[in-house]
Amino acid sequence: MFRNYLKIAWRNLIRDKGYSAINIFGLALGMACALLIGLWVRDELSYDRFLPDVDNIHHIRVNYNFRGQGLQTTLVTPGPLQEVIAKEVPQVAAITKLTWRSEALITVKAKTAKERGHYATTDFFSVFNLPALYGDPAKALANLNQIVITRKVAEKFFPNGLALGKTLQLNNDKFFIVGAVIENLPATSSLQFDWLVNWEVQEQPWQKTWGNNSFLTYCRLKSETTVEQTEVAMKGIYPRYADFDNNETPILQPITDLHLWGDYKNGKPVGGQIEYVRIFSLVALFILFIACINFMNVATARSAMRAKEVGVRKSLGAMRSSLAGQFLSESLLTSALAAGLALLIVWNVLPTFNAVFEKQLTFGLTEPAFWPLLGGIVFVTGLVSGSYPALFLSGLSPVRILRGRGPSPRLRLGTGPAQFRRVLVVFQFSLSIFLIVGMLAVGRQMNYLRTKHLGLDRENVVWIQLEGNIAGFPKTETFRRELLQQPGIASAVEVAHLPINIQSTSTDLQWPGKDPNQLFSVSAMSVGADFVKTMNIQLLAGRDFRAGSYADTSNYLINEAAAKLMGMKEPVGKEITFWMGKGRVIGLMKDFHLNSLHQAISPLVLTYIPGNTSFLLVKTNPGQTQRAVTSLEKVARSFNPNYPFTYHFLDEDYEELYRSEQQVQTLVNYFGVLAILISCLGLFGLAAFTAEQRTKEIGVRKVLGASVGNIVTLLSKDFLKLVLFALVLASPLAWWALDKWLSTFAYRQQLSGWYFALAGTLAVSIALLTVSYQSIKAALMNPVKSLRSE
């Protein structure tokens, strides 16, 4: 019987080729979108799940209850925390801390290249049981003269990747023996590195203070313990060991949540990348449902064409269940054909999708779960899109049909199939308008992020890493002075962090009159001379750091937020205590953005320590960027001949801060356009059928004097009313969703009514263009042909 169903279904598809093509292509586009987004969502949810015993691995954060600033949660921790937890918290099986990932020059004979890695404590491989290709990674990391590298580095520097026991040089300084080679980390790993060296190789005194949060700490819990038990055991660490007490509490975050849940509020994870995963999961469902609506609309609209068939079948004894099965088999066949076309679309689009979104998604045709998943999509799509048409057509009364009264379904929804089609069109265009508004709002916010003045110059600023012969005072200062003599270069300054993303925080700030029981967190950075001048920051009072000034090593620059925190209206000349001990504020800077616009501007204290810096920022003269880069390269190669010259533009790094938002914008734009296209396919099919059904009416109207414009208006106005109604329904939902997304930015564009006016205009225009083709075609038809059968 099922074979017979498929045979009849195929014949019906072939008979109505135009409408079948609309259904199949619309469903295929919807399925392709759903599959692409599904691959992206699966990739986002798979981060760090490759790790053995992953459920027991946690990232350690610290909650600080800063008075006046509220409860804050840091991504990084102080250096001593790891040793204390290892000694005093029995629930922890192993714990490790890492420096921020840094770039180092690896040299093997004549081969040199920069690779990124960490300095880590010896328990790293007890926390992360990464597969080893050669050697014992744990033993290698415990040895101060050995290094652990990945397969990529081994194959790059050594013949056939046989690196074990060989020697390499790091940063043209220390030599290390390759003690182990591990497998390359997958793209879905939160940690990405190519080398690891023992922590003690770089350890410095400032890394042992409790007030400096600068390190990443991870632990593995014992299998018989819980997160709650461990957090209780860690709760008393700060009161016992830190020289301050502000209700600091270490907390645990599962490493599988690290990528998805990056935003904390009141000590709890509240969002992050997970928000985008949810949004686009809904977008995938929306688009697939829009495609299903097309099928339902066209199928119910064409019910009159199948009415006599149903009447004859029922009069010959066909059961309603068998008729429903027949129509469902047609929708399942359509869904299966659409799935085949969708696979072809995804296969061709996936490389471009990976390039745009910087992913390594694979089309897992050989994965055991793929085909059952695809089969499920085909079945659900076919069932959803064919359910109402099957129930409607199988419920037609044979007596009424054979008497020529037309379809009158026993099964009714609302006031019948026509009303149901209107509901579907409204719902379909509501989703499309929602996506159009999203495209406009996200695009405007991204433009705001790109164009907003940060309070400092990010254009015409080039930076290089301080390394080798230009790292450390006084070598850095000598290099900087030489650069200032070169053409195209306006100024230069050494910095510990890029000023658009200052991650270092400290609780060491003290000032006269401060309550000793209160603790405040401030952003902090070491810089060289001419920082204010190079970054073109407005100086409200005082002066910049002076090159070579020994007195300035105990002086400080602060921003307005820091002055407000300390209650100082005129802070210049006032005494404060910070990293370099007691000193005076010599300059007050106007607030500038230290991080992305997701975060409010925080208090900032700058210290003059040229030797404790990592980057050199070079401001070029306007219109002379290329000349300045050439000068920078010439001087860098003369000072650092053994290091390859690499440079970066500060505005490109600023753009990188919003990579996730840029990807969201791209996804919204692409899939928003596809959703509109799919909606228009369905509208085109409905308009064509409506014009076909009203052919004789149009002929009569033309004979009685109706113009082409009258006919077009007649056929278009009903559809346009539905689109306008969809705008009314979609606007409140779109406003709520976008306001929630914009609230994640401390600095944002306000929602405006013109978004919705423009979205409505676009939707109406697109719908009008879609319907007008069929309307004009019907209006221009010769009325004699229309009335010939009468």
Please report the DSSP string for 729-769 in residue order. Answer: HHHHHHHHHHHHHHTT-SS-PPP-HHHHHHHHHHHHHHHHH
Q: With H, G, I as helix, E, B as strand and everything else as coil, classify residue 459.
A: coil
Q: Which residue has the tokens 């390594």?
A: 360
Sign of the torsion angle spanned by Cα atoms 143, 145, 146, 149? positive
Asked if residue 260 lies in contact with residue 274, where contact means CB atoms within 8 angstroms, the answer is: yes
What pLDDT, on a 0 to 100 scale, did the predictor assign at position 408?
43
pLDDT at residue number 781:
67
- CA separation for the pair 579, 590 (Å, rounded): 22
Single-letter amino acid, residue 409? P
d(Cα 415, Cα 432) in Å, to the nearest integer?
Answer: 25
HSE-up of residue 621 (Cα within 13 Å, Cβ side)? 13
Give which of 589, 590, 576 is closest to 506, Cα–Cα.
Answer: 576
| pLDDT score of 302 | 59
Query: Any bridge partners for residue 532, and if so which?
Result: none
pTM of the model: 0.76
The Cα–Cα gap between 319 and 128 comes to: 63
Q: Which burial class, exposed, middle or buried, applies to 62 when counting CB atoms under 10 A from its CB (0-12, 13-18, 19+)?
A: buried
What is the per-residue pLDDT for 410?
A: 37
Output the pLDDT for position 484: 92
Strand 146-150 and strand 174-182: the pairing is parallel
Q: What is the pLDDT of residue 10?
A: 64
Alpha helices by DSSP H, listed for 484-574, are 531-535, 560-566
DSSP percent split of the chain into helix, strand, coil, nearest 5: 50, 20, 30
Residue 409 pLDDT: 40
What was the pLDDT predicted at 712? 72
58 and 217 Cβ atoms separated by less than 8 Å: no
Q: From residue 20, how far is each of 288, 683, 769 by CA, in Å?
A: 17, 14, 22
Lookup: tokens for 460: 């015409």
**Cα–Cα distance for residue pair 264/76, rounded to 1 Å:** 13
Q: Which of 297, 295, 311, 296 is nearest to 406 (CA)?
A: 311
Helix (H, G, I), strand (E, B) or coil at 412: coil
**Calpha distance 335→690 (Å, rounded):** 24
pLDDT value, residue 663: 77
d(CA 114, CA 101): 13
* Centroid of chain to Cα 704: 60
Owner of token pair 């920078």:
632
3-state secondary structure of 784: helix
Rg (CA), the chain: 34
Tens digits of per-residue pLDDT, 229-248?
999 999 889 888 886 655 78
Residue written as tokens 């920082």?
531
Amino acid at 720: L
Question: Are 237 and 249 in contact, with CB atoms under 8 Å apart?
Answer: no
Residue 772 structure tokens: 């007008």
Task: List the chain residues with pLDDT less than 70.
Answer: 1-16, 18-19, 66-70, 243-246, 298-326, 364-366, 368-369, 386, 388-418, 420-421, 517, 682, 685-696, 702-704, 708, 715, 773-775, 777-790
94 is written with which tokens? 């192993």
Strands 132-135 and 174-182: antiparallel
* 759-763 own/partner pairs: CB under 8 Å, 24+ apart: 759/433, 759/436, 759/437, 759/440, 759/727, 759/730, 759/734, 760/433, 760/724, 760/727, 762/436, 763/429, 763/432, 763/433, 763/436, 763/676, 763/723, 763/726, 763/727
Q: What are phi and psi of 714, to 5 degrees?
A: -60, -45
